[in-house]
Amino acid sequence: MRRVITGNQAVAYGVILSRVDVVSAYPITPQTTIVEELSELIASGRLKTRFLKVESEHSAMAALIGASTGGVRTFTATSSHGLAYMHEMLHWASGARLPIVLVNVNRAIGPPWNIWGDQSDSVSQRDTGWIQLYCENNQEVLDTILQAYLIAETVRLPVMVVLDAFVLSHTAEPVEIPSIEEADSLLPPFCPDYPIDTQEPRSYSVITTPDYFLEFRYKVQKAMEEVPEVAKKVDDEFRSRFGRSYGAIERYGKKEAELLLMTSGTVTSTSRIVIKKLMEKGLSVAGIKIKRFRPFPSEEICEVIQGAKKIAVIDRNLSAGVGGIFAQELRASLYSREERPQVFGFVSGLGGRDITPALIEEAVQYTVEHPQPEGDILWLGLKK
């Protein structure tokens, strides 16, 4: 079935098709229409999901931790301050090895107060032990939710699916919606290893001494290391059924390019147009879309950058005192390599300002003209 739907509606379809058992959520712009949509579906009896309408995001994640420990499939959605408020429980979910799926609609964190899109909310949760997958369009949003449950339940780590505020969340575009039968054939019911069972009483998430704690964290890291292979299998399976796949990254544009442009989220769609135009002008340029941010796809990136002299990164986020996070992660990935392209770290579009084709062209132009960047942060579109 093909329908014209918003990103947030695509999320709701993803939840329906994943046969989620328990949803727990709290409203925040621009995520709210997801929980509204789900409430309608549940109230009308079309969706048999238990919805806990809790009093905060902290409780939303805590309730899912309880439900997932209880052995059922769980979902929540949030944005910005809501995600920040969940922070403690994000650590808890991954430490307890619970395959919770969370949709975060990227929104700036105030003050100054701002409801529009940037990635500072989700990237600042990068050390919480969650897998993070960024989406470029509404089709990818729906497809990624289905994939997210398969990955999460295989490696037993939670997954954050991320989409841009308004540009995706509130913008309608055509989306192919799989049937429930098709979704069922991809995603089997959740079968946890140790669900709550009073016949076999267990203690969950209890105190652990220094003698063992390191080993528990080691296991989380090992699970993260399984993700590339598991996610690839899931993506391949998805392609064989639905004809669509996304990879951890996607390289597009010229085959052997001297200059690469790295983006994530909807900025990638704009970049595709800019790169096409610049290629037509004869520029040796290609794009890299980063879908999977955690675990960071260092190997996948290194495989596709042979011959590149420079990589321009557009970060829609800022770690004050350092710069854009994607650029930082890329620099760290390149450090141990023999060939290290220059990394140009652009920061732009914070608080929902448009990253226009002209701005992207400006970034590329700057990268072409300079042998190396004039500093770790290159502000793009800054009013001086």
Partner 1 sequence: MKKIEIPPEENLGHGHLACAGCGAAVAMRLTLKALGEKTVMVFPASCWSIVPGFWPYSSYRITAVHAGFVTGAATASGVRAALDVRGDDETLVAVWAGDGGTFDIGLQALSGAAERNEDLLYICNDNEGYMNTGTQRSSATPLLAWTTTTPVMQPKENPKKDIMAIMADHHIPYAATATIAYPEDLIRKLEKAKGIQGTRFIHLFSPCPPGWRMPSEQTIKISRLAVRSRIFPLYEIENGRTYTIQEESHVVPVKEYLKLQGRFSHLTEKDIETTQRNVDDTWERLQRRARC
Task: Kindly list the residues in this chain that would bind partner 1 in the complex (CB under 8 A).
Answer: 21-22, 24, 50, 52-56, 58-60, 62-72, 74, 88-89, 92, 195-198, 201-209, 212
Report residue 230: phi and psi, to 5°: -65, -45
What is the C-alpha separation between 183 and 14, in angstroms, rounded?
9
Residue 70 or 228: which CB sits closer to partner 1? Answer: 70
What is the C-alpha separation between 71 and 54, in angstroms, rounded?
20
Q: How many Cα atoms are found within 13 Å in the side-chain-facing hemisphere of 80?
A: 24
| Contact call for residues 316 and 348 (beta carbons, < 8 A) | yes
The answer for residues whose C-beta is within 8 angstroms of residue 159's C-beta and 6 or more apart is 99, 100, 101, 102, 130, 131, 132, 133, 148, 149, 151, 152
Residue 15 or 347: which CB sits closer to partner 1? Answer: 15
Residue 90 or 275: which CB sits closer to partner 1? Answer: 90
Least distance from partner 1 to the Cβ atom of residue 156, Å: 16
Residue 210 or 243: which CB sits closer to partner 1? Answer: 210
What is the C-alpha separation between 329 and 297, in angstroms, rounded?
10
What is the C-alpha separation between 233 and 160, in angstroms, rounded?
19
Least distance from partner 1 to the Cβ atom of residue 53, Å: 7
3-state SS assignment for residue 259: strand
Residue 1 or 206: which CB sits closer to partner 1? Answer: 206
Residue 204 or 218: which CB sits closer to partner 1? Answer: 204
> In the chain, what is the straight-line distance between the N-terminal and C-terminal CA atoms, in Å?
49
Least distance from partner 1 to the Cβ atom of residue 319, Å: 26
Residue 111 or 201: which CB sits closer to partner 1? Answer: 201
Least distance from partner 1 to the Cβ atom of residue 208, Å: 4
Least distance from partner 1 to the Cβ atom of residue 55, Å: 3
What is the C-alpha separation between 250 and 119, in angstroms, rounded?
19
Least distance from partner 1 to the Cβ atom of residue 52, Å: 6
Least distance from partner 1 to the Cβ atom of residue 81, Å: 16
Among 45, 44, 21, 25, which Cα is nearest to 33's?
A: 25
